[in-house]
Amino acid sequence: MENPIHYKSFNSSKTVDELTFNLINYKIRMKSLKNELDFMVFIIDTAHFKPQVINLFEILSVFKNDIHDMLTAQKGVLHKIDNSSKILFQKRECEDVICEDFFIKDYDLLEEELLKYFNSATHLKADIIQYLESVIPLKN
């Protein structure tokens, strides 16, 4: 898979409404990702696999553990999004540059963490899909 993109902030000129909209969008993406990962666990648990695949159940167990870890991390990230939303509400009352800088730096750190999280999830999903395609027989 290609190298992940590196984070670059463009938030210093955005309004509070734009930043809040982005956070809402991230929460929607997180919910969709959770559904995708839950579905992958369902496929792993219910699919019929080709016979005599070497280390099949060990590899599937690793994938299930990786999905579990990803979903656990997601809870922490969602909590940070909620906290950031509350902090952004306070930013409306912030009128000096130092105060605004604090909020933007905090937001940038969260956004960078989100980018890394989504990149990790994308790689995990790609690995799982590639593996499942190789071990689930095609119906004729």
CA geometry: angle 83, 86, 87, nearest 5 deg: 85
pLDDT the model gives residue 56: 95
Structure confidence at residue 8 (pLDDT) = 79
Side chain identity, residue 67: I
Q: What is the pLDDT of residue 12?
A: 74
CB atoms within 10 A of CB 60: 21
pLDDT of residue 18: 86
CA separation, residue 94 to residues 31, 83, 102 (Å): 31, 17, 10
pTM score: 0.86
Q: Going from the first residue of the chain to its last (140 residues), give the mean pLDDT of each consecutive group of 10, the final group possibly shorter.
A: 70 80 95 98 94 94 98 96 84 61 84 95 97 89
Residue 82, pLDDT score: 92
Domain ranges of the chain: 16-135
What is the per-residue pLDDT for 140?
64
Res 11: pLDDT:
77
